[in-house]
Structures are given as structure tokens and as C-alpha cells.
A and B are shown apart, each in its own frame.
Chain A
Amino acid sequence: MPTDDDADETLMLRYGAGDADAFARLYARHKGPLYRYLLRQCDQPAVAEELFQDVWLKLIAARSGYTVRAKFTTWLYRLAHNRLIDHYRASARRVPASYAEDCPEWAEVPIPVEAQPENQEDRRRQTERLLRLLAELPEAQREAFLLKEEGGLSLEAIAQATGTGRETVKSRLRYALARLRRGLGGAR
């Protein structure tokens, strides 16, 4: 369990006061989850690296004005979410329709053929299948799943980070989990 001195928020405040080592500890703690969140969301390593760097540089620039108003991870993933939306807007894809609050595709997206229940004993192959299923999820649902799994955010924190309502987050997450379960063989 992290102590108060070791908490993300404390480290960020220390970095804001000029302690570069505090940033190094924060970075080591969150670089992997944040990078994987961005990588899964855009599926292109070069783009993910660019977005990843932008998020950290934005955090560095905001260090002196940082105050503890939410969990550090909520703030970090809000920066990442906003950068991702900017990326969608700038690209030809525009912002994915799944980010709409009342997206109708949630219940209508067909389960991919290759994701039909199979008797998979090999864990590695199951993992690969999970990643494929994840990539095929609508962006908003995938984001909810990743923020839960990578960022460890609660429903409320995911809602804050993505700027949506708690119920919307709950629906997206429920949909994502149901789809992944079915794709992996209907274990539940």
C-alpha cells in the first residue's frame, strides 16, 4: 500500500515544487498503463507514442498549477482522453459515433465470426483473441474497459475522465464485458 508520501498526488505536488525524482517515480508507475490505453485506442504504435508524449508534456507544463481536486489517475486519464479526442477530430475518422451518449449501435453490433465461442485451452491464444475482440469494440466501450483495467478507475472516475455521466459509463462497460465474454467462448 502506498503511504501518503508515496501517493500519486503527493508525488505530483512534489514535482510541482521542483522535485524531478518525484516525477520519475510517477512516470515509472503510470507509463505502462497509459501507453497501453493509448495504443489500444488508436492501434498504431507511432501515433500512440506521439499522443503519449503529448500527455506527459502537458502534465509537465501544468505542474505548477496542480492542485488535488481528484485522484491523480483521474486527472492523468482525462488529459489522455482529451488528447485522444483531439486526435480523432484531426484525423479523417472524426470522433467515433460510439462516443455519443445514446449510441444505437451498442445493442446492434454483431459478434465477429472469429469470436464465436470456441474451446480454447491455450492461454496465449485466448489472450490474442481478447486483444482482437478488444480492438473490435467501439471506441467508447473499449475506453471504459481500458480505464477500468489499466487505469484502475472507478465508475465515477471514468465518468469524470471522459466527461460523461456515470450511467453512460456503466452501460458502456456492461456492453464491453458482455461482448468480450461472448467472444471468448461464453464462459459466463
Chain B
Amino acid sequence: MNDFRPGESEKPDELHDERLSELYGATRDVEPPVWLDQRILAAARAAVEKPRLKRTFPWYRRHGFPFWAAPVALAATVVLAVGLLRWLPPASDLSGMPAPVEEKASRSLASPAAELDAAQAKSAGTAAAPPAAPDPAALPPAKPEERPLMRSRTMPVESLRSESPQAAPMLKGAADEEAAPVRERLDDRSPAEWRAEIAELYRQGRKAEAAALQAEFRRRYPDEPLNDGEPPR
């Protein structure tokens, strides 16, 4: 401990006395009290651990939330979202809703299908994209009494298959069993029958299907009027 160096010019015994140093060394049994040691060491540790806490713990720990708060909140969000989706009625039941809500619902059902069809057409390399129409796979199963009309849902798929052979493998299996009779039905149908079927769908409140059929009609018969088939505004 003692590295006392008097220097070159000082006589060693003038500034250092070995006997005095030895005697004073016997008085070195006095130490600070233990409580003071603990207090100072705690202060020293706290001074360097404070910033480390900020770096280590996530935001919800710093704001006083318990460690399980984040996982529980995440699980609750997932359960609520799944429950809400399961609670919502299927698309076919939306026809009973008031008009504005039903229109929104039909738009929301039609848009993904249109996007899907556009993507399919693009990947198939077709120059002209087919008109927007609901995807058969995205629609709920039909009731037995609606069977003849529900067949029309396969029209966009079939028409896409017939006009763009490249897309056919992608759509294979969508409605293979019904493809031949439906094509025959559509090919045989006159514009007046198209309009009547569209009007019937609107009358039944099945606007999504009516809109799909209407779009197909416009594609097939661009010069034919569709006024008497349009829904009353």
C-alpha cells in the first residue's frame, strides 16, 4: 500500500520513520461500519444498473405491466378475431340484410374474387383480363332449390377456360362435372333470357350473383341493352 518515495534530495530518515510507520500500522484495525459499506455498495450498483434495466426489459415491463401481459393480450386478440369470424353469418345469409349493408357485403365478397381472377388471367398470359366475377370456391354452398341459378356462378370460370387455354390447368377441378351442361345452357340462352334471369336474381335479393351474371352478360353481349334487367334504384 505504502509506496512513499521521498525523492532524490531528501534524506530517507527525514521524511520517513520505519518505527513510526510500524507503530501506526498497529492502529489500522478501524474500519467503516458494515451498514455504511452496504449502503455505498448498493448505491454504486444501482448507479450502473439503472440504464441496464432500460435496455433489457421491453416496454410493457418499464410501464409496470407484469411479464405475462403481452402474451395474454396477444392470445385474447386472436380468440376475439376468430370468434368474430365464426359469429358472422355466411355470405348467402347477407341477402336478408338492409340494402346498403348488403351492397357493401356483396362488394366485399366480389372484390377478392375479381382480384383472384385478374391474378389468374395475368399468370396465364392472357392479354385481356376477364370481367370481375365471384370465385366459385369462395362462395358458400347453395341450397337445393337454388341449384339452377347457382350454376351460373361457374360461368366466369368456364368462359375464362374456353377463351384462354393457358388458364385451364389452373382452374381444373373448379366445376368439371357441371361444365358441359352449363356451357350448353349459356350458349343456348338468348339475351332476353339473360336479362330475365338477372332480373329474377335481383328480385330475390341475390345481388352478388346478379351482378356476376350481369357482368358476364355485358361481356358476351356488349351491344345488347341491359336496362330492364338492372335493379331498381
**Across-interface contacts of B47 in A (CB, < 8 A):** 60-61, 63
Q: Which B residues lie within 8 Å of A57 (CB)? A: 40, 43
Do most interface residues of chain A lie in helix, strand or loop, or is the interface mixed?
Answer: helix
Are B3's CB and A177's CB within 8 A? Answer: no
Q: Which residues of A contact B31 (CB under 8 A)?
A: 31-32, 35
Q: Report the separation of the CA atoms of residues A27 and B48 in the bound assembly, to the nearest whole angstrom.
A: 15
Residue ID in chain B nearest A131 by CB atoms: B27
- Assembly CA distance A35 to B45 (angstroms): 20
| Interface footprint category on A | 35 or more
The proximity string for B residues 10-33 relative to A, scoring 1 for CB distances below 8 Å and 0 otherwise, is 100111110111011111101111
Chain B interface SS verdict (over half) = helix
A88 to B178, alpha carbons, bound, how many Å?
Answer: 106
Give complex CA distance A5, B45 in Å.
20
- Residue A69 at the chain B interface, CB threshold 8 Å: no
**Interface residue A23 (Cβ < 8 Å from any Cβ of B):** yes
Tell me if B15 and A174 are in contact (CB < 8 A): yes
Q: Which residue of A lies closest to B14 (CB)?
A: A174
Measured CB to CB, the nearest residue on chain B to A144 is B15
* B15, A187: Cβ atoms closer than 8 Å: no
Given contacts A39-B30, A152-B4, A155-B15, contact A130 B44 (CB under 8 A): no
Chain B residues proximal to chain A, CB less than 8 Å: 1-7, 10, 13-17, 19-21, 23-28, 30-33, 36-37, 39-41, 43-45, 47-49, 51-52
